[in-house]
Structure 1
């Protein structure tokens, strides 16, 4: 193969040499001979090329003027004649000759050429070329509405003015011409300078013309126009201003006269769902599909690899089934384009690698026969297939029809227009692949584009390239399969999506400031959330049936809640309706009831008068979503934790207990579902101090005191005259004090015999007074108890 290639290359070079020697080169890279001829004719037209500032000074040079009129006087003489006035005194004439007023005017643009929808920025430079200051220099241009007064222009001074032409130009115009004028007066004489300016306007480039057995196609490079400019073109179409073939080809993609009802409806709802004050928002777009006629082009790969495994047979069957379905509407039409590459491995691609096998027709037998006649052979020039389909659609489709291109391939592009063949198994997006992508995207200007990849024969290293080309070239659906038998099902699915309710549908939804978007909750990969603007953008694309988008929001943790709270500020649907008109619809704004944040109140602080106390006897919980989680901690014991709803505690000292309460969504971390409160448990403990006074007492005598307290508890102590003793850590309650009076003594009295311990009176003192009554040498020491009856106050 290597030797064969070298020999072939040598023969090829010899042929080229002979061709050049004979002065004839039939091979044209990129453009055809017709295009070259057209460009040559264009150069010979009366439109002169612009200089680098795009300026053409229309004032004639003196040499040109002399040629036009040999009898014409010199410029100085002519100026003198034009400005000649009534005879003046000699001294005024001398003064006039000394003072000379003159202006110069220069115009520049910011670039060499412009597209018809682009603003043209002019920079106007006015200079005082005379020897006297000029006042009130008026600079005008009717095209840009420039009318500016330079109040003072000093000698030699240059003033610069910028002005913009911001109106659209039609596609037929090649040059924008306008005239700037600078004028003033000096000594009652008018001084004026005119400058005529021509700016080049770019047009869609004519690339190639092609003759075929079915039709004559003139190809145009169609750009994606800005929407506002497309509106401008539509108006021109309606007014029948533009008549050129280029404009006609472009404008057929827009329907100037709506014929079908726009049935699009929008709805938006919000409902509470699981989560901390969360809501599910649903956006819905619906409508009825009108039975519009369809103009669809089937673009079929007939390269040699389509012969593998009967792929071409399955493709033909799928195409025929598709055509039969579409043509059930007698107003619909189908066209057939097929492509391959029939050159050698030393050749390059051409537009002729694709053929228009059948122009638009509603005759199923005709289209079926053409499909059956397809023969697979050669390489893959996908660019040529897309381009031929695009041109056919632009020139031959109907304004009132829905337009679609269905493109099928079983591999990767191996050649493109004007580029050498190869490689056959690319591993990256090369020039052939990029050319196919570009042409597919250009085709989106005239029709919706569907792509189908039969990938079972694509080498593993080229699979990514094949997918990338088909995904980037389409705007209405990419389908792939590894089995040719699936093609009929894929084509049937596409046929169901040819008519639509709306296209280029984009939804913008601004979330209300009281809510936040729940990350990851969008139901569609075609939707995104911008955290800076709080807006959701949903690229819904072409709507063929009821379609919905759902997402979740939740109330901000700091929001206090309320009823009838709007979930969003606004939501809008921008789309192109069935009549190719740009429309906008507003979604309704749903409202929801937002419960207030979770709150907990443990009530007043507690006094522990007994051994234990319940912490949550007085708890109040407001709002939240049960069940609740309780987490108790203690200030006096860091290791103590309780998860009980109402724990019982028995602190030894005053202690602060903290409760962290969470509802069922509290683990999400939002403070609206978490609440805290604290309660202090005061340990109520008192004391009783006993003082002993004995009259005529021997200090050595002990007296026995008994104290009966709550819960049948008793305390006993022995005390001598003059002593004090204290019993501590006494619980609140009533305490009865009794003394066992010994022989030879009598009880004088108690300062208080019943003592009440409370939070107001925790510490009590009882004085017991006795008197010795027997001072003789003989006495009895037997003790005699004193008993009292006590009535306790509740």
Structure 2
């Protein structure tokens, strides 16, 4: 049933007049209704604005009519001190109330039916917070647009915390596509398994992980990468592919061949490097790589036509096939390997990695020097390592000094072997993979409603979910700061994050960090998590001295934050003499906090429990904030009062024919309770016993009026 505007005015005037008698609304609202200056369809907004709770309200005792039975709620949002609603006295009154609510709802639906956000409720009647949907934007400047996505996902274990994800994805332009062929040169000398050593087993695991990182785990591989494997002891042999096509793209075949490597005798590093060159000479890839792994210094070097070594045999004269005794390293052995290495890197497209595990302390310095002379990574990446001998030392000191800005290619601990292969695969992948942006700066400013979580980690992952190093020159730096933002003439300090990233490769990266709601008692619909998030970068194909700065703006995700709704239930129990107690005896229970008190009149009996439902607030909660007032309006919470978190005391005015037995709050014998976001459903049981069943008192009460009498 719909009401005319005239009837709406009459109904509203009656409600307001009643509320003035209760002390809830101010006469200015009546003036607004009766004047011709306001339409009744705007009344809900006017009333809400008029009724914002006043922190300085004078505390008053509510009347009996301010109480509702069962699960009723406070009907006056303006008075946080009397947060209880009118008790229903009869079935007829209930029916009449339901009819009024139904009529009001018809009008309400017409006004709010265009709302996009449905209201969801849990079984306990509380509103379920929404997890923000993913939002996406695309940079419009530059030749190579990036897709910018931002999400805010609620933590399942802590609903006040959200993980923010800034995703940057794109497709490299055709000019960025590179092909690559890689030769893994694996030492299988006897020392790899000597005295129960696990070096060969760990090296095979590391090489398999290397293959999986570059080609995947299932055999379905990128079309631009091929890998071949060479094993060597005194003799070097190719164990994958065929002579003319040694590079294969199937990770399953490669892993099977690597698993089949068995230990032999001696170390002819020169032969292994010569075999790698033979294979790379047949490669047509843009990028070529050698990954040499060894556990010791060379003990053989090649002789004559046997440039790939010779299978050394015990008890035979092997000197006509190779030089060295297979047990001791010599300068000649080392120089031969270095000479072979120099022939490989004569091809400028070759990057040569050397990794080693040397667990014999006496040869460690010589071994470090040797590895430094058979690699060109430091030359290829001066921005990482520097130049000259200092660069080589930095390259080799990675493990010893714990410096994670350099690759870990030298160690005396065999348990580090797998990590060395992992690091080399990541660096190679970064070079092969297609560049979509360089010199990237991402900034994100968190709104005043949220703050960064102290001690939380910032993570940046690439498309394979490999974590990138943060706060290191080679990958990414993070800067956290505070910025001043104006809100309606008030300056608020907000958290700002700046991420500086050298390069982003196809398909992209994800930046993640966590924020939490600054005020645990704040709530609202569609609350933005950030003020603004922007990106600046250079197009990777722009090689000019002063490249153009491309820009983009991330979308602003928003989240729904539910109010902390609580309920206080008060039950009166007569422990002795209940059968003789006068019918409908009423007991006055006072719930008093630091800034508010609530007086509840309750009768004995579990079926006569009185309840007060409310919305919690904290010391700094701004209940006039537009997000809070709009949430209340849109979710039909106008009947809920605000109650401040804190300590409350329960007391009682005990009638003369009873004595107090005690108070039980949430199953504990106590007269105080702490009201908080984690403890907001309070069940109070006040116990009395009858001590004078014949005590006489008048059930009909009338206010006492005291007058000063004139005395002659």
Instruction: Please indicate, yes or no, whether the TM-score normalized by the shorter chain is above 0.5.
Output: no
Greater per-residue strand proportion? 1
State the TM-score, normalizing by the size of structure 2: 0.36
Greater per-residue helix proportion? 2
